[in-house]
Amino acid sequence: MHYEKLVETYEKLESTSKRLDKTHYVSELLKSTTDDMEEITLLLQGKVFPSYDERKIGMASKLVLKALNIATGTDADQIMKSWKKTGDLGNSAAELIKEKSQKTLFQTNLSVSKVFTNIQKVALIEGQGTVDKKLKLIAELLTSAKPLEAKYIIRTVLEDLRVGVGDGTLRDAITLAFLDIPETIFSKCPRCQKLMPKIASCLYCTEDLPKIKESGEDRVKYNLLLEAVQNAYDMTNDFGQVATIAKTKGLSGLQNIQLSPETPIKVMLYQKAKGWEDAFERVGTPAAVEYKYDGFRVQAHGKDGNVKLFTRRLEEVTKQFPEVINWIKQDIQSNDFIIDGEIIGISKQGKFLPFQNISQRIKRKHEIEKMVKDLPVVVRWFDLMELEGKNYLKEPYSERRNALAGIIKENDNFKAAEQIITDDIATGVTFYEESIAKGNEGVMVKKLDAPYKPGSRVGYGVKIKSTMDPLDLVIVGAEWGKGKRSEWLSSFILACQDENGNMLEMGRVGTGIKEKAEEGTSFGELTKLLEPLILSEENKVVKVKPKIVLSIEYEEIQRSPSYSAGYALRFPRLKEIRIDKPVSEISTLHEVEDLYEEQ
């Protein structure tokens, strides 16, 4: 496909905030996609790697500026001026290319795969001359780009596409494009015959669309189709694959997708219970009650003697934990499995340590053996998704846990999560206290007959932790410091999310961050993490892409009209950086409201 065609869709997507319109535009594009489905589905979300692939484009704005300078011949100051004016390097690129193009003629048509390949190469280049090679790849694209193409190339390179295609929109669009949609759920334009979700008028000829009465039966059928696409995605994490299967094999193809050890699947998430009564009410009794360990989630895949580990962000961490790989090879009695558990730090005295003690092991790429010795870990497994070619996602939890117990040869370092089965609150409370005394965070209470739902916070399990637990918030902005702190970002603007994933600001944090790196998380470290994410700057305040998640402790939650969340934290202080948590899993406004009510 020509990149220009994708850009036309980007423009339409950018022009509307309505989810139904977006769904239609994406579905039309997918229908006309033939062999580059993988690239198109990724680029629609501004990505060149699937979400489980740890590689990032990681090109800083400064370098992009230079690429623009090479491609257009415009000097850096002028580009900077334009950037300040538009507040968006993508729009500046479009303007600059437009000026240049009045002087030259376009020679080539950019293809989607050319753009995709060049941007992906930017992320892959390592070693000598990296910067020059990256510049060349981007400048090459910009030299052949038309103005609007340049706008989206730049935004993609900066990992800031802003056309608002979330996972939900892609799922709905695939359903609309390729499955047999029940008649009363969608409208067909009488003039141009295009099928679109129920909206007032046709998106093309503005003709009023017929008002159709939705049938309850059709709605149920439609929800089943959406669920089939969602399930397929949760198992593969690959919209390209899901779209291709939907297109070529329809619903039955989607229903027959198998789990494959080697491709991570999204982990099941849990809700928070208000207390024991609430917990038992939500999961039913008797329930499984387990220690809630304060480590990080790990998914292990084994196939023919090959073992891989993934975090809950689906990033691969196999190399970082050689001891865990050895234990799995020795003590898991199977050659084909996917299991779910927690890696936890442990002190010399054998006590569980909080996550922050081992967080550095996740990113560590060198001196691994030293890390294994200095920061020892243990593993506790709590679920099983696949075993010997059998998909266990639909099996009840009690069965999955039995199957898990059947393949683990247990020892102190490596075993199933501590568990009791009970319907009695007093027994639960005693178990909770025992768990806390061992250094854990609380307990999980799980529904015994529930399936495994990848990727959703469905309430098949709930957590019980103490109420003043830290909130997980993402940094959306920061302010440069003054005086001796002027080299550092020193005050960090935090946000939670609403149910649509919109970021809602709820105050700033500066406390708990150190001046010296040896003392803990430092201003220097945060500045280094945030600099490549800067989107704009005004009066020393920068806006950054929401990526860095912090665990924030506080005294109290207060109502506050000054922030978009409507709440602010009293005395917020940094507990730790949560490098294992994706932005999609930060605290929700709903949780904040509940905590506010509870205090």
Task: Give contact residues for ligand AMP (rule: CB under 6 A).
Answer: 270, 290-293, 297, 312, 342, 382, 417, 444, 463
Among residues 292 and 453, whose Cβ is nearest to ligand AMP? 292
Strands 419-422, 287-292: pairing kind: antiparallel
**Closest approach of Cβ 443 to ligand AMP, in Å?**
8
Among residues 196 and 443, whose Cβ is nearest to ligand AMP? 443
Among residues 309 and 444, whose Cβ is nearest to ligand AMP? 444
List beta partners, residue 420.
Answer: 289
Among residues 176 and 403, whose Cβ is nearest to ligand AMP? 403
Rounded to whole angstroms, the Cα distance separating 363 from 349 reads: 26
Among residues 116 and 382, whose Cβ is nearest to ligand AMP? 382
**Closest approach of Cβ 444 to ligand AMP, in Å?**
4
Position closest to ligand AMP via CB: 297
Q: Mention every residue, 6+ apart, whose C-beta is less than 8 A from residue 129.
A: none
Among residues 337 and 523, whose Cβ is nearest to ligand AMP? 337
Select from 491, 579, 485, 573 the least CA-distant residue to 529: 579
Whether the CB-CB separation of 95 and 87 falls below 8 Å is answered with: no
Rounded-to-10 torsion of CA 40, 230, 187, 213: -170
Rounded to whole angstroms, the Cα distance separating 150 from 141 reads: 8
**Closest approach of Cβ 354 to ligand AMP, in Å?**
12
Cα 569 to Cα 467, 505, 555, 574, distances in angstroms: 14, 11, 7, 12
Rounded to whole angstroms, the Cα distance separating 154 from 151 reads: 5
Strands 269-272, 457-465: pairing kind: parallel
Active site residue: 47, 266, 272, 292, which one? 292
**Closest approach of Cβ 457 to ligand AMP, in Å?**
8
Rounded to whole angstroms, the Cα distance separating 34 from 136 reads: 29
**Closest approach of Cβ 115 to ligand AMP, in Å?**
36
Whether the CB-CB separation of 249 and 362 falls below 8 Å is answered with: no
**Closest approach of Cβ 294 to ligand AMP, in Å?**
7
- Strand blocks (E) in 33-102: none
Q: Is 292 one of the catalytic residues?
A: yes
Whether the CB-CB separation of 97 and 142 falls below 8 Å is answered with: yes
Which residue's structure tokens are 């009840």?
396
Give catalytic residues, as residue numbers. Answer: 292
